Amino acid sequence: MIKGKVWSFGADLNTDLIIPARYLNTSDPKVLAEYCLEDARPGFSKIMSPGDIIVAGTNFGCGSSREHAPLAIKYAGIACVIAASFARIFYRNALNIGLAILESEEASKDVKEGEILQINLEKGLINNLSTNRIYHAKPFPGFMQELITAGGLIPYLRRNLAEKEQEV
């Protein structure tokens, strides 16, 4: 279960706005987190709190295929990104690094900045605690939820390999 304050962004938020190219001289996720959404909302990493939620419009994460964008969001402390739709490569990169994301056109259009959401990833339910409205998103299959919970593809594979080695 995820519970956090909403930060709203519009449609077509590209990876250059999520993490500007001038900060790509590092792959240190803690450094990337400092500059998360810097060009879309200067100082964002200093005003948001760990556990907060981003709600955005269509085509979130469009642009270049850099994995730095979901890394910056995750390590800034954003617990989940809800959008009407995601750019395909961002969607895959987010899952690979264990960033929780949900597609909900209804929530994208209706939820306002500052509202508090409670999210059940397993059921794909988004409960707006500020307005008492419930929105639906397509939940991920069990194995994808395990991948997100593990922190991404690599930690998921390491954990499963370790478990298999213990069985032998």
Q: β-pairing, 101-103 with 80-83?
A: parallel
pLDDT of residue 82: 98
Tokens of 74: 């995750």
pTM: 0.90
Per-residue pLDDT band for 168 (boundaries 50, 70, 90) equals low
What are the two backbone dihedrals, phi and then psi, of residue 110, each rounded to the nearest 5 degrees? -100, -35
Query: Tens digit of pLDDT for each residue in 56-75?
Result: 999 999 998 788 999 999 99
Residue 163 has pLDDT above 80, yes or no: no
